[in-house]
Amino acid sequence: MTVLETPVHVTVIADRCAGCQECVIRCPQGALSMDLATWTAVADDDACVGCRQCVRTCPFGAITVEGPLLVAERVDPPLHHPVSLVGDVAETRVGFSDLAAALAEAERCLTCLDPTCVRGCPAHNDIPGFIGAIRLQDFDLAHEILARTTSLPDICSRVCNQSAQCEGACSWSLAGGAPVAIGRLERFVTEQVEVPTPRIEPSSNLSVGIVGSGPAGAGAAWELIEAGCAVTVYERDSAPGGLPVWGMPDFTLPDDVARRPWRQLEEAGVELVLNTAIGAGDLDLLLNVHDALIVANGAGAPMRLSVPGSDSDGVTDATTFLQGAKVALEPGGDVAAFLAQLGVARGAHVLVLGAGNTAMDVARLARRLDLAATCVDWLDERFALARPDELAEARHEGVEVRFNRTLAALHAREGRVSRAELSRTEQSSAKRPPSVQVEDHEFLEVSLVVMAMGYRNDASFTAALPGTPMRKSAPNIPDERWRASGILAGPASAYANHSAVGALALARESGLWAASLANRERLWVVGDALTGPSTVVEAMAQGRRAAAAILDAQPSCPGRRDESDASAPPRVLVCYESEGGRTRAAAETIASQCDARGLEVTCLPIDQVGPREIAAADVLVVGTWVEGLVLARVRPARAMRAWIEGLPRLAARKVAIFCTYSVNPRGALEEMSRAIAGKGGAVVAREDFAASELDDGESGPIAFAARVSALALRETSVRVVAH
């Protein structure tokens, strides 16, 4: 740790401190304690390192910290910049060169008790855990910890935008400093010991089909094959792997690393059906073959900008360029033949539309093909989608990147594009789209135009999968556990390019929720197919979530398995929001009565109910108390409204609702019904219970439980007959 002369000083404003102990619990250094006489927080300046976790977590703004961050300098290996860029596809970003460097960086981790980095990671990797294993130099343990949440540590550690995810959410980053190099430490683990092969522990006789072999499909297949399922993956290309294999250059992700997961999955017994395009109309056919189906096909339809001249020769899409360039730059590849196919010669000028990850890959590959490259993007650079490090690398390699520009028209000579007409744009806020300045334009001589503005989902799949692609959004009333962690507090850090890492992380949770729930009976949707174009780690995490939900649900294809396989009792989840205890008592009565009727019952408060609990239930029972005054609006409890708002699409899941009240509940149940219907749920029963009714033998909840039990048993009997 760097010793600095300037001390750190913590001030606790006693008049504001409520004695909640949030700061004491979360301080990673034990620098805070409670004065039992006044029940206020007390700080030990000598123990404080200035991470300001206490400032972010205090709900009353009772703590301030002055002074520097007492942490060693971040250990960052220098980038690899080839002397001669042309033809060189060696990795640009390198890992730690030796154990000493990795250990020095690992020592910077505070091992926070409520680690915001874990919330910032889309897969929720146990980051302090695997970094602790590095400190012990136990790389097998590090792999064991990572394997609980990820199947692609070697890939994600290279391609994740850590600055907007785990590293952007690191305590040091949130405090305005340099975060722990989490991505490089994860990569270091995989470079010391290869990612272990799937550990198969047969516990299921399920047959599961997966459409697509990208990161989402790989994550799902890994989880399922380890559980002993029969897994068949349908892939339209001649090789598995999806975008990491065909669309990411070797200087970002070496081909051997990209192909590693599927080598291991095939060895573990996953059946790959290649060169087989699955259309939306084939989904029902696959459901007749498999117990469950996961749709994990990527967003493969390139976006094109329709402007005058866009149909000229010399205008292509990113997929065509990336695939051709990768092959041409491989050992034994023919660069001259690829350039001839594109209709250009060495030194020609390529215009790349876009400045995101795909556009950067296109432009940097163009430089390695000995072409000049210019990227244009209509966004302001302050709000651009490009990773700051990737943008800097591209510019270092000679790529010209112009923001606040959009393509107005393409002009051709003898049918081939020769000049681009660009209009300037203005953008004052990330929340507002740029405005095009139609009178302010410039011309650029070009020989090739590559449209690299991203991809969209196949429209036929969107029509066949209701609710997709869904919008990832953070709830208006965040989960208190997220708020208390401190990830949502304060301004976004400069290291994270001022991305609101907390809000982004919370929004991603909606995708994980949705991945756990079937889109329709026995069919799950993940990755790009679920949320539109997403990151590798998001897609992989959603695939694993869907696989876990399938293993919990144990669906059965009609006629494929014995009727006895479907004889498990129906599962009922009773969840509630209770303040005074009456709603909890009613929920517990309903649960005990359902249990007495032979159902498998779980009873939990809503703050303990996640996607896995909902996905495992045949019938969902939701109860709340009502708030409001007789002369004012009476409605479900605020926490219940926020919880329902945060639910993903329920795909016609059967829901029974109830409320408890002391005054007339008025439209509370109707409001709950509309909210659940808005999430795609089917409200099949509802009831309200007066306080007097609950105090008098609880006859209302008992009768309600009988209705719920009959509903659940009827649903199960229908499935058994169908089998």
Q: Is 28 inside a domain boundary?
A: yes
pLDDT band at residue 629, thresholds of 50, 70 and 90? Answer: low
Q: Is 265 inside a domain boundary?
A: no
pLDDT band at residue 239, thresholds of 50, 70 and 90? Answer: very high
Q: Is 447 inside a domain boundary?
A: yes
For residue 313, list its beta bridge partners: 416
CA atoms within 13 A on the CB side of 191: 16
User: And the tokens for 328?
Assistant: 């041409």
CATH code for the domain of 180: 1.10.1060.10
| 28 and 136 assigned to the same domain | no
CATH code for the domain of 18: 3.30.70.20
pLDDT given for residue 719 in this prediction:
43
CATH code for the domain of 666: 3.40.50.360
| 451 and 307 assigned to the same domain | yes
For 139-153, how does the pLDDT look when each residue is reduced to its tens digit (9 = 90+)? 999 999 999 999 999
Q: Phi first, then psi: give them for residue 38, nearest 5 degrees.
A: -105, -10
Q: Which of helix, strand or coil describes residue 202?
A: coil
Q: Is 26 inside a domain boundary?
A: yes
Q: Is 340 inside a domain boundary?
A: yes
Q: What is the mean pLDDT of residues 33-46?
A: 95
* Domains held by the chain: number: 4
| Cα torsion 282, 284, 290, 294: sign | positive
| 44 and 169 assigned to the same domain | no
For 349-406, how does the pLDDT look when each residue is reduced to its tens digit (9 = 90+)? 999 999 999 999 999 999 999 999 999 999 999 888 888 889 999 999 999 999 999 9
| 111 and 182 assigned to the same domain | yes
pLDDT band at residue 112, thresholds of 50, 70 and 90? Answer: very high
Q: 593 is in which domain, residue-wise? A: 564-722
| Cα torsion 102, 160, 645, 589: sign | negative
- Say whether pTM exceeds 0.85: yes
Contact 408/441 with Cβ under 8 angstroms? yes
Q: Is 111 inside a domain boundary?
A: yes
What's the rounded Cα separation, in Å, for the pair 537 and 496? 17
For 428-477, how does the pLDDT look when each residue is reduced to its tens digit (9 = 90+)? 988 899 999 988 889 999 999 999 998 899 999 999 998 899 988 877 66
| 714 and 619 assigned to the same domain | yes
CATH code for the domain of 407: 3.50.50.60
| 37 and 100 assigned to the same domain | no
For 517-548, how does the pLDDT look when each residue is reduced to its tens digit (9 = 90+)? 999 889 999 999 999 999 999 999 999 999 99
| 714 and 570 assigned to the same domain | yes
As separate numbers, helices (DSSP H) first and strands (DSSP E) second, the chain gives 28, 25
Asked whether residue 5 carries a pLDDT value surpassing 60, the answer given is no
Q: Is 590 inside a domain boundary?
A: yes
Q: Is 410 inside a domain boundary?
A: yes
pLDDT given for residue 58 in this prediction:
95
pLDDT band at residue 120, thresholds of 50, 70 and 90? Answer: very high
What's the rounded Cα separation, in Å, for the pair 33 and 31? 7
| 591 and 672 assigned to the same domain | yes
Could you give the percent of the chain with pLDDT greater than 90? Answer: 76
| 339 and 422 assigned to the same domain | yes
Q: What is the DSSP letter of 241?
A: -
What's the rounded Cα separation, in Å, for the pair 682 and 669? 14
